[in-house]
Structure 1
Amino acid sequence: MTIDLKSLIGSRIQETTGTRKLTIKGETDNYTVCKIPLDLVHYNEKNGRIATYISQYLTEGNKIDKDVIEDYNMVLQKFIENSNSNAIKTTKQNIDRFGQRVPGVVLNDGRIIDGNRRFTCLRLLKNEGKDVYFEAVILDPKNGIDDRDIKRLELNLQHAEERPVDYNPIDNLVDIYRDISIDKLFTIKEYAENTNKRPKEVEVSLKKAELMVQYLEFINAPGQYFIARDMELDGPLQELVGILNKEFKKLDFKDLSRPEYPNKTEREEYLRIRNALFTAIFTNREKGDLTRYIREMGKFVIHSTNRDDFLDEYEEVVEEVYETLQDQEEVTTQTVKEIGKELEVVRKEGKDIIDRKIQDTQIKVARKKPVELLNQALADLERIDLDQVSRLKSEDEKEFRLVLGKIDSMLKKFGGKIEV
């Protein structure tokens, strides 16, 4: 079914006196808002808010088909509702009470660029017998607006305005990865400009997204972003970026993972560390605070002097987990749970290795603490100017002698402990 909304203005679609200010191709103008019957518009299947739900739907053998718009809308409506049911309830109540206050934005073919949640609430109200329309600006791509302009507008509306982006963080990572790495619509700098973020912030998000993609490949579930959502991987991925950035400064994780990466030794070390961390996430995903666990693993194992010993000892666990996952014909949220039970013994073995290495390093750190503090104290003492000491006035000199005596007494106690 081909829809031409512009051609229906004056018949099924009515222009209102309202306008909405939009910035397109760098120019800001007021655009007329129209009242559009709900059956003439449809959801945007590329909406970042539902990226993981779309991936799950396709993985389960379904197809996204627009031949029957109402059937298509019903499928995506459920995704929108599931993505934030509380927000849907609140927005629905507000629209029912006050009307649609913020107009949406649609393309001339009926695809919604902004306003998927409002459209969902209006559909729910219509099912309750309410007489409602979708109020929105109509943009026609024939007027020189290309895919990049449309996506830039979508990002501006979702991120740059003074309202929070309430995407599931994994859906947001998928959106960033798709826009920058897959579709190559923007550079990191351009994406930052269009979302009111700092380039460094976007760079970190893109690295998190890349590690998410690599993790799903590691567990034999490529492109199944919903698994990352169900496992709540945003926090652990954040820690992974910090850990790997420290070990592989300014290197691109995507390049490091490629077989053709020129420095084979560097790539091998990256994969050893990355795969150990991925295995730790998979085998410890049911821990109460997985993010903190991965942080401690980075601090006390990966960044410690016993890292090589750990990687050697943990290698069999990594291989067992990886091979078991790769042997599966299909990996879903359910099979992740089943494989977890199947690998219970291996999971326990891996946890014991990590916990032991963390504890070993913590003990070493505790043992070195007195030396570190003494060195710090010595550095502070060396900052004291001897000429200033010789010119101290009576009261200050008295206090100085008192503190000096305490220090001397403490040093004698230390000396007694080590027989000096």
Structure 2
Amino acid sequence: MTIKLNELIGSKITMTDSTRKLTIKGETKPYKVARIPLDLCHYNNQNGRIATHISEYISNGNTLNKSDLNEYNNVLEKFIYKANPTALDDTMNNIDKFDQRVAGVVLNDGRIIDGNRRFTALRKLKRDKGKDLYFEAVILNQEEGIDQRDIKLLELNLQHAEEKPVDYDPIDNLVDVYRDLIENKLFTEVEYVRNTNKKPAEVALMMKKAELMVQFLDYINAEGKYYIARDLALDGPLQEMVRILESQFKGIDVRTILSGSHKDKGEQAGYLRVRNALFTAIFSKRKLNESDNKGDVTRDIRDMGKFIINASNREEFLDEFDDIVEEVYENFQDLDEVDSSSVKEVGQELADVRKEAQKVIDKHIEDSRLVMAKTKPVDLINKAFDDLKRIEVEQVKRMDSSTEQEFLTVFEEVQKKLNEFRDALNV
């Protein structure tokens, strides 16, 4: 059955006196709010907030069928609730006490563009308390020239541009960014910045993390299985990886380094070697089972960057780590299907390999720490000398008496400390 909400105004749908301002095609104006029966509305399966849950549901062999809207809504309602149970309960309690205060936005076919949580709260209240409830929302008619791009820009504006945090799971947000800006190129980076109230550097970083997320899933033979990235909590480690890789390979962009147009094949090979080592470290360090006693993987990747990848022992580490990387990679590539369960199974099968990976990583980090500890006094005294060279002799000659006395006091303390250093030297 095809729903056209505008044709039901005056019968099943009534208009209220309320309006809500929306910005569509660059024009901001008030739109009238309607009271819509709940069974005429349905969730948007492209909603970024539940992207990973939908990907998991479909990967498990299920389909989303709108022929039975109630069943379709029941499935997606669970994902909306699971994405943030506390926020949903708060919204439900608020609506129960004060009614729906902020109108949603729906398309003429009943698809919800804004207000999924409010709609979910209303559905649960109707079931739990038997209340006769309606969803108050602006109805947008696509037949009036509103296209898919306008709808997505409106979603971004409503979900991101207001001065409040977006309560997406970080990976769901990256999936949204990847689909809209990289995969489908629905709009440009500049347009995304303008419609989300984010800084250009922040959007660029999100795109880079999204690209690395997709590369990681390809590495473990799980293309499109975004929920695995969510289950592994990859957002923090991916952010550290962006910094490490772009620091190690000056001038590259993780979004374009592997493109066919990149002329330096040696640089691509070097990038893949370091990237795959970091991916393997994430798999080895990440807690895959309740019995795993893993720490902060984000910190671990940061330490790898500081004490291995950007240190003098990088090549020695990579040579020792190559076999581990290859074994992890091949185990995943040999699987016909990869899901969260098989990630855990591979983790169990490669328990000894994972332990060896951690051993190698920890050894090289400790070695690097010792080297840095030994050279730190030299680094500090060089820095101190650089600061001393900035003091001009003529400035010292022109100091007044009080400043001269203060300078002399500090000078004598410095002289005393230098004498201590000389006495400590074995020369």
Please state which band the TM-score falls in when normalised by the shorter chain: over 0.9
Quick one: distance in 1 between partners of 2:262 and 2:404?
65
AA aligned opposite 1:5: L
**Of 360, 365, 380, which residue of structure 1 is paired with 2:367?**
360
Corresponding position of 1:283 = 284
Quick one: distance in 2 between partners of 1:160 and 1:349?
46
Corresponding position of 2:197 = 196
Corresponding position of 2:60 = 60
Matches within 5 A, 1:221-300: 221-258=222-259, 261-286=262-287, 287-300=294-307
- 2:370 is paired with a residue whose SS is helix
Corresponding position of 1:78 = 78
Q: CA deviation at 1:250?
A: 4.0
Quick one: distance in 1 between partners of 2:41 and 2:322?
54
Quick one: distance in 2 between partners of 1:316 and 1:232?
26
Quick one: distance in 1 between partners of 2:192 and 2:403?
59
> Is the 8 Å Cα contact of residues 308 and 317 (structure 2) preserved in structure 1?
yes
Corresponding position of 2:145 = 144
- 1:365-400: per-residue Cα shift (whole Å, max 9, x none)? 111111111112212222222123234444444444
Corresponding position of 1:43 = 43
- 1:70-95: per-residue Cα shift (whole Å, max 9, x none)? 11111111111111111111101111
- 1:125-176: per-residue Cα shift (whole Å, max 9, x none)? 1112101001111000111111100000011110112332101111011011
Corresponding position of 1:27 = 27
Corresponding position of 1:173 = 174
CA RMSD of superposed structures (Å): 1.4
- 1:291-350: per-residue Cα shift (whole Å, max 9, x none)? 101000001101011111111110000001000111112111111111111111111111
Are the structure 2 counterparts of residues 181 and 398 from structure 1 closer, same or farther at C-alpha, using a change threshold of 3 Å? closer
- 2:323 is paired with a residue whose SS is helix
AA aligned opposite 1:347: R
AA aligned opposite 1:98: F
- 2:354 is paired with a residue whose SS is helix
TM-score by length of 1: 0.97
Q: CA deviation at 1:67?
A: 1.2
332-341 or 166-175, which moves further after superposition?
Answer: 332-341
AA aligned opposite 2:241: L
Corresponding position of 1:339 = 346
> Is the 8 Å Cα contact of residues 242 and 254 (structure 2) preserved in structure 1?
no
- 1:33 is paired with a residue whose SS is strand
The list of structure 1 runs, each at least 4 consecutive aligned residues, that deviate by more than 6 angstroms after superposition, is none
Corresponding position of 1:182 = 183
AA aligned opposite 1:225: Y
Corresponding position of 2:414 = 407
* Structure 1 unpaired stretches of 5+: none
Corresponding position of 1:322 = 329
Are the structure 2 counterparts of residues 384 and 260 from structure 1 closer, same or farther at C-alpha, using a change threshold of 3 Å? closer
Quick one: distance in 2 between partners of 1:406 and 1:124?
73
- 1:106-135: per-residue Cα shift (whole Å, max 9, x none)? 000110000111111111111121010011
**Of 314, 317, 325, which residue of structure 2 is paired with 1:310?**
317
Corresponding position of 2:157 = 156
Corresponding position of 1:418 = 425
- 2:164 is paired with a residue whose SS is coil
Q: CA deviation at 1:56?
A: 0.1
Quick one: distance in 1 between partners of 2:329 and 2:386?
49
Q: How many residue pairs are counted as aligned between the two chains?
A: 420
- 1:254 is paired with a residue whose SS is coil
- 1:213 is paired with a residue whose SS is helix
TM-score by length of 2: 0.95
- 2:263 is paired with a residue whose SS is coil
Are the structure 2 counterparts of residues 396 and 73 from structure 1 closer, same or farther at C-alpha, using a change threshold of 3 Å? closer
- 1:410 is paired with a residue whose SS is helix
> Is the 8 Å Cα contact of residues 207 and 255 (structure 2) preserved in structure 1?
no
> Are residues 1:375 and 2:382 paired?
yes
Quick one: distance in 1 between partners of 2:135 and 2:405?
82
Corresponding position of 2:396 = 389
- 1:238 is paired with a residue whose SS is helix
Quick one: distance in 2 between partners of 1:181 and 1:398?
64
Are the structure 2 counterparts of residues 84 and 419 from structure 1 closer, same or farther at C-alpha, using a change threshold of 3 Å? closer
